[in-house]
Amino acid sequence: MPLLPAPRLIDPTTVPALRWGVIGTGIADRFVHAIDAHTGQRAVAVTARDAERTRAFAATHGIERVHASVADLVADPHVDVVYVATPHPLHREQALTAIAAGKHVLIEKPIALTAAEATEILRAGRAAGVLVAEAMWTRYLPQADVIRQVLDAGLLGEIDLVRADFGSLVPFDPTSRMFDPALGGGAMLDLGVYIVAFASSIIGPPRTIRAVGTLAATGVDDSATVALKTDAGAQAALTTTFGAVTPVEASVFGSRGRLDVLAPFYGPTGLRLRVDDADAEVWRDEALPTVHDGLGYQATAFASYVEQGLVESPLHPHDEVVSVLTTIDEVRRQIAEE
């Protein structure tokens, strides 16, 4: 009998078909494609800085209305939820504007530049009674539910260590989003949020944070090696870099076995479980044509939470969103002061 359980998925036809207003046209291109192809959610309005590009985006995705500003989009009575898909430094202002207009908000990762900004956004959402969530889409993938079931069943025994890496070869360009401090540049905010969030999902918030890394010529971190330890003694070893392509894998090690998340671990890929001395068991997620089609799962979950009247995601609660950014804040501080 297989040990890896089947994922528990939300049927996208059973949740409300929300009308989404989109801010930004970068990652939003993949998001809107995913919800159109695999969910009942629909983008009905869009705004972005480049008017010509925004009109082209709307035409490509069959979006009805193009707004001239964020203020116009959040005032649109036909919009139920706002998806903030702009560079990190814009998230706080745009999210607060949407919240003030009474809209639910899904905000691309990282939700903000710092833990303090994240706290401000999330408190505003709670006070307004609207759902605010970070778009940490990995948390809603089928394999994430399988991992939760494996941990809840204690199949790995006592968790001792989490490992995760995310490295990508990014040529240095001081004006790019990756390297410009004014645009929220740095490996930890771009790639590192995935590895810290993965560790958090397994072992919870760390008590001890140790980091070394390097800085680009613009002053942002372009690599980091991070060690975390919790009050319970579980540890995490995490690496990220703009200087090399790494395997982009994640693993969880316990007293009875190990669970590997296949590359790239942040998308719908699969799992390999080995318990005691048994042969490894592999489960692969081949349900979708591309990795980023998995973005639709978070939209379906978001709609289900709106239906339930929730103001935070039960799979990715506000305290954890802030905790992950608190860790990233400290990692960046330590690297900058080396």
Residues 128/100, Cβ–Cβ less than 8 Å:
yes
d(CA 201, CA 217): 33
Along the 338 residues of the chain, how does pLDDT read in single tens digits? 789 999 999 999 999 999 999 999 999 999 999 999 999 999 999 999 999 999 999 999 999 999 999 999 999 999 999 999 999 999 999 999 999 999 999 999 999 999 999 999 999 999 999 999 999 999 999 999 999 999 999 999 999 999 999 999 999 999 999 999 999 999 999 999 999 999 999 999 999 999 999 999 999 999 999 999 999 999 999 999 999 999 999 999 999 999 999 999 999 999 999 999 889 999 999 999 999 999 999 999 999 999 999 999 999 999 999 999 999 999 999 999 98
Where are the domains positioned within the chain? 12-137, 138-289+316-336
pTM: 0.97
Closest CA to 210 of 336, 320, 330, 323: 330
Q: How many helices (H) and strands (E) does the chain have?
A: 10, 14
CATH number of 12-137: 3.40.50.720
DSSP state of 191: I
Tokens in use for 221? Answer: 């971190």
CATH of domain 138-289+316-336: 3.30.360.10
Contacts by 46-49 with C-beta closer than 8 Å and gap 24+? 46/21, 46/22, 46/73, 47/21, 47/22, 47/23, 47/72, 47/73, 48/23, 48/24, 48/86
DSSP 316: B
